[in-house]
Amino acid sequence: MTDVSVEKKPTELSLLSILFAVAAVTYLLWWFAVEWLLPASFNPLAGRLAVVALFGGGWVAACTRRFSPDALRVYFGACAWILTAHYFYLFQGNRGQLGWIIGAYVTVLAISQTFLTLRALLAYSSYVTLLGGAMLAILPPLRQTVFLPGLMTFLALVCIGARTRGRLIGQLARKTEGLRMRDEFIAIASHELRTPLTSMKLHIRLALRALGAEPEDGRRVEDLLLRIDGQTNRIVRLVEDMLDSSSVASGKLSLRLERLDLGSIVRQCFDQLANPMITLEAPEGVFVSGDAYRLEQVVLNLLQNAIKYGQGSPVDTRLASDGAFAVLEVTDRGIGISPDSLARIFQKYERAVSIENISGLGLGLYISRAVVEQHGGSIEVRSRLGEGSVFTVRLPLAR
| Cβ atoms 389, 337 nearer than 8 A | yes
Q: Does the structure show a pLDDT above 60 at 31?
A: no
Check pLDDT > 80 for residue 309: yes
Look at residue 4 in the predicted model and tell me its pLDDT.
Answer: 30
Mean pLDDT of 328-341: 90
User: Above 90 in pLDDT, residue 270?
Assistant: yes
**What are the structural domains of the chain?**
2-171 (no CATH), 176-250 (1.10.287.130), 258-396 (3.30.565.10)
Closest CA to 152 of 137, 165, 141: 137
Q: How far apart are CA 390 and CA 327, in angstroms?
A: 12
* More confident site: 112 or 267: 267
Q: Write down the mean pLDDT value for the chain.
A: 68
For the stretch 206-253, pLDDT in tens is 776 766 666 556 666 667 677 777 667 767 766 776 677 666 766 777
Residue 316's DSSP bridge partners are 279, 331
Q: Would you report the helix, strand and coil content of the chain in percent, each value rounded to 5?
A: 65, 10, 25
Percent of residues, the chain, with pLDDT higher than 70? 42
CA distances from 56 to 34, 109, 252, 354 (A): 17, 18, 48, 54
Q: pLDDT at position 135, please?
A: 46
The predicted pLDDT at position 125 comes to 41
pLDDT classification of 331: cutoffs 50, 70, 90:
very high
Q: Which of 40-49, 105-114, 187-196, 375-384 has the lowest mean pLDDT?
A: 40-49
pLDDT of residue 30: 55
| Cα 198 to Cα 206: distance, rounded to the nearest angstrom | 13
What is the DSSP code (8-state) at residue 398? P
Residue 316, pLDDT > 90, answer yes
Mean pLDDT value of segment 344-365 = 68
The per-residue pLDDT for 315 is 95
* C-alpha span between 182 and 180 (Å, rounded): 5
Give the residue among 344, 352, 349 at the shortest CA–CA distance from 386.
352
Q: How far is CA 54 from CA 7, 34, 281, 328, in A?
A: 32, 15, 75, 65
Q: Give the pTM.
A: 0.48
> How high is the pLDDT of residue 338?
86
Whether 383 shows a pLDDT value over 60: the answer reads yes
What strands, in cross-sheet order, belong to the sheet with 315-321?
278-281, 315-321, 325-332, 388-396, 378-384
Amino acid letter, 376 = G
| pLDDT confidence bin for 76, thresholds 50/70/90 | low
List pLDDT tens digits, range 124-183: 444 444 444 444 444 444 444 444 444 555 555 555 555 666 677 777 777 777 776 766
Lowest mean pLDDT across 126-130, 325-329, 376-380: 126-130
